[in-house]
Structure 1
Amino acid sequence: MEEKSKQVRKLSHLARLSLTPEEEGELAGRLEQMVGYLEALSQVEDGAEPDTPCVVTFRPDGVEPSLDRDKLLENAPQVRDGYVVTPRSVGEGGEA
């Protein structure tokens, strides 16, 4: 478990997260569960058939009316050159 805690500390440092010791312990436990699950999955034989059939139902593909552009732009708080203006969400340059 100490090895998992070390890994959690390293990952939290790389992700720029500050975790309490309790959070580190909780995440280490979750990491242990995930690794166990992946180990169990790796033991499944290639080409093994599932116990239950998988049925996927697709909706019919067709053209449907969309939003009216003029009505949409009427409700937008700010419009410029026919586009909705939104606040910048990503800065310029290499900011992280």
Structure 2
Amino acid sequence: GETHEPSQERRSVPRQLTTSSFQVTDLLGEGNYSQVMFAKLRSTQEPIALKVIEKQKVKRYKKEDELRVEKWVLTNLRHPSIIQLFGTFQDQGCLYLALE
């Protein structure tokens, strides 16, 4: 598959992300084990979709493999039709994907 260099926006995202890196403003959608929030990166005011994945629900619904595949696709594939993953982080209860 074809890959492209990371965009300038991707380079502007801090390497160490935490929940305090974002100002969350709206709920965009939710599923069985996650919510997608509209947020702005505090350092740049860039709009971000923050996917918040509850670890316990991932286990309950047996979605660990699906989640690994999703992260791999978002990390490794570059295409205009595939959203860009800016970064990931976690805390005790949740996994977070910062998306374009």
TM-score, with normalisation over the residues of structure 1?
0.21
Question: Which structure has the greater CA radius of gyration?
Answer: 1
Using CA pairs under 8 Å that are at least 6 residues apart, name the structure with larger relative contact order, 1 or 2. 2
Higher normalized strand content (fraction of residues): 2
